[in-house]
Structure 1
Amino acid sequence: MERITRADDRVHRPAGPWTPTVHRLLEHAHGQGFVGVPEPISLGDTLETVSFVPGTAGDYPWNQDIASEAALVTTARMLRHYHDAAQDYPRSDADVWSQAERAPVETIVHGDFAPYNCVYDGIAAVGIIDFDTAHPGPRVWDVASAVYRFAPFTTGLVEGGSASLEHRLGRAAEFCRAYGLDARSRSVLVETMVSSLVALVTTIETEAAAGDPKFVSDLRHGHVELYRADVAFIEEHADAIAAAVA
């Protein structure tokens, strides 16, 4: 299994059937003036090479800058700018995505928008990486993922996971405000969070059963149990979350 490696200002990553389409997406984003994504450099049979996006990834545990309200706001604005740049991507029959299209199609969503796929310069979000799960879909699919991860609405031991519900609700509302999420999308945010987590559990279990080592590891390390517990937590507080982001 190929690994992700970096050499100076270039990153070498495993390529899949969807990688040529992702390269066209990244080129389109750059053409629209959104330069906070990797720039495609080359594509081989098993590896792709893209530019390195300088900064600090939002891996756990977060540092003080990435946990800040300013980082939350700049992340939301960055996601909005990416969605705006990708909304007129010229789709074609040649496109291959790793995920199924989701209706209503409003843009090309990232598909795994989370702190670890965002890049920061201090408190400012400056980039988005790892577009393997990009696919046509509604903006709220990425926003729901972001709200789940950044509020955060998790029972796990991650940054902010022990914060009060009131604090998490405030961060969820602030993310939606900074993004400029429309009323219809806000009305389905909670159910979209749940749907995305259920889809993630299904993917882990299916791919682990097929022998994919990454998902076998995820299953072994209790990710499925965590996501199911998070679904229960979100459903328990669904009314409060919906009211906060309305």
Structure 2
Amino acid sequence: MERVTRADDRVHRPAGPWTPTVHRLLAHLHEQGFVAAPEPIAVGGAVETVSFVPGTAGNYPWSTEIASEAALVTSARLLRQYHDVAATYPRDATVDVWSQAERLPVETIVHGDFAPYNCVYDGIAAVGLIDFDTAHPGPRVWDVASAVYRFAPFTTGLVEGSTAPGLDERLDRAAEFCRAYGLDDRSRGVLVETMTASLVALVTTMETEAAAGNPKFLSDLEHGHADLYRADVTWIESHADAIHEAVTAG
């Protein structure tokens, strides 16, 4: 299992072949004034060190503040700010190594796992973005679709202690996220299919890594995560028209 430790204002995390590239990305973000991300400090052996981003992560079950509309809106705006700055990252195919394959059309460096648990909040305001291991070149809608899935949320399973909003509320939250982000019409038109594609890709990665003996993904399979995502794909497809109408209404 991954081991993440904190010592004062520093966080120590497992490093991978992609970590030096992620650190170059983080350094670029800070150079451009986006200080909501961790600041890269060091990569040594199998461990990376980054700065601690103060605040409260949006872990499950959500608090009333993190479940609020204000938290959703500020999260969407934070993602837009990140994408705009990450789009200026000077890509270099000779040195860049990402943990995920590039996705077309490349519009920015997507976060790859934009969700409440990777956002940091000060009350109802999203003030930080963490865990860039899955960052890679890709289209903005890849992150937005994943975020809508997590923030609406469009899932058939909820963590104990969580309360499921009704479908109408979920549709309203999905539409509000797209509005707050400022998602373009073309991306809104493919959001539903991108959402299901991202879940299928997640299950594929999970099963591939588990087959290779990765303990984290073995645990995920044992806890039924892949089955949940498959059920969510089916649920989203059955409500695709309603979701598409909600997010394209403007």
Identify the TM-score tier after normalising by the shorter chain: over 0.9
- Counterpart of 2:62, as a letter, is W
Measure, in 2, the Cα distance between the counterparts of 1:211 and 1:2. 14
Matched, 1:154 2:155: yes
- Structure 1 stretches lacking a partner, 5+ long: none
Q: Which runs of 5+ in 2 are unaligned?
A: none
Q: Kindly state the Cα deviation for residue 162 of structure 1 after the two structures are TM-superposed.
A: 2.2
Where do residues 156-235 of structure 1 align in structure 2 (5 Å cutoff)? Answer: 156-158=157-159, 162-235=164-237
| Cα-to-partner distance string for 1:103-125 (whole Å, 9 max, x where unaligned) | 00000000011111100000000
Structure 1 counterpart of 2:56, one-letter code: T
Q: Is the 8 A contact 2:2 2:216 kept in 1?
A: no
CA RMSD of aligned residues (A): 1.0
Deviation (angstroms), 1:3: 1.2
Q: Percent identity?
A: 79
CA displacement 1:70-121 (0-9 Å, x = unmatched): 0000000000000001001000120000000000000000001111110000
Aligned CA distance change for structure 1 residues 195 and 241 (closer, same or farther; 3 Å): same
CA–CA distance in 2 between the matches of 1:95 and 1:161? 42
What CA deviation, in whole Å up to 9, does each residue of 1:127-161 have, x standing for no partner?
A: 10000000000000000000000000000014766
Runs of at least 4 residues of structure 1 off by over 6 A?
none
Indicate the residue corresponding to 2:21 in structure 1: 21
Task: Give the structure 1 partner of residue 32 of structure 2.
Answer: 32
- CA deviations on 1:209-228 (whole Å, 9 max, x unpaired) are 11100000000000011000
Counterpart in 2 of 1:46?
46
Report if the CA contact (8 A) 1:38-1:53 is conserved: yes
Within 1, Cα distance between the matches of 2:232 and 2:186?
A: 24
Structure 2: which amino acid aligns with 1:62? W
Q: Post-superposition shift, 1:31?
A: 1.0
1:106 aligned to 2:107? yes
Paired residue type of 2:190: V
Q: TM-score, normalised by structure 1?
A: 0.98
CA contact (8 A) 1:141 1:196 kept: yes
CA contact (8 A) 1:107 1:137 kept: yes
Matched position secondary structure for 2:137: strand
User: Partner letter of residue 4 of structure 2?
Assistant: I
SS of structure 2 residue aligned to 1:50: strand
Paired AA for residue 32 in structure 1: Q
CA distance in 1 between counterparts of 2:63 and 2:110 reads: 27
Q: Is the 8 A contact 2:207 2:217 kept in 1?
A: yes
Matched residue pairs, number? 246
Name the residue aligned to 2:97. Answer: 96
Note the alpha carbon deviations across 1:52-80, whole angstroms, 9 max, x for none. 00000000000010000000000000000
Q: Secondary structure at the match of 2:50?
A: strand
